[in-house]
Amino acid sequence: MGRSLWTLLRRDVSLTVMRRQDVLTVVVFFIIVITFFPLAVGPEPETLRAIAPGAIWVAAALASVISLDRLFADDWRDGTLEQLALIQQPLALVALTKIAAHWLALGLPLVLLSPVLGYSLGLQGFELVTLAASLALGMPVLSLLGACGAALTLGVRAGGALMALLILPLYVPVLIIGSGAVAEAMHEAGPSAHLSLLGAMLALAVPLAPLAVAGALRIALD
């Protein structure tokens, strides 16, 4: 079981990396959204520093949404998803593996890039570390929640817009807690409570979200 899931993980990561336009689209979108905030609110350093946590988290959430459209769609179109549903491994584990591959290929680059963009908005030192830590804990939660929406709208006409309507409200608590962690670090308070909440969300989402995704995929395959 472990070997086949590892093979699936490597396959999905390799396919995503080979489609460089997908990775570039997500990364460039992330950068452009953050760039728009200084253009909208002005170049004052204190203003930019104040909005930096929320701006980066909003950009990360939107970038996560646009990257979910092909999470299951390609495998559904060519019949691979149906074959994966017939193998011995539980479909929930298959779904979790595909979500992990998606995050490694498209989510991790945003986490690694976030300190650079945070620094451009005025964050420094421990604030940048907290920003990266909050995204490292929170973005997998966004991917897991987003995968539920991607599975529910699989094969639906205008599924991308419907998926966004379904999952964006679910992103709100993660955005509030994630940006709150950075805000606490900015005010020289400990962000450990917020990071612990993100960790708890991740611990709940890892076992539960793949079950919901597996159920939605079975409905789409029937």
* Alpha-carbon span 4 to 64, nearest angstrom: 27
Residue 1 in this model has a pLDDT that exceeds 70: no
DSSP for 32-87 reads HHHHHHHHHH-S-HHHHHHHHHHHHHHHHHHHHHHHSTTTTHHHHHHTHHHHHHHS
* pTM > 0.85: yes or no: yes
Residue 94 in this model has a pLDDT that exceeds 70: yes
Give the lowest-confidence range in 63-67, 69-73, 128-132, 215-219. Answer: 69-73
Residue 42 in this model has a pLDDT that exceeds 80: yes
**Mean per-residue pLDDT, 64-86:** 84
Residue type, 84: L
Residue 3 in this model has a pLDDT that exceeds 90: no
Inter-residue contact 202 to 210 (CB < 8 Å): no
Q: How many CA atoms lie within 13 A of 138 on its CB side?
A: 33
Domain boundaries, given as residue ranges, for the chain: 2-221
Inter-residue contact 150 to 76 (CB < 8 Å): no
Give the pLDDT of residue 56: 95
Q: What is the mean pLDDT of the chain?
A: 89
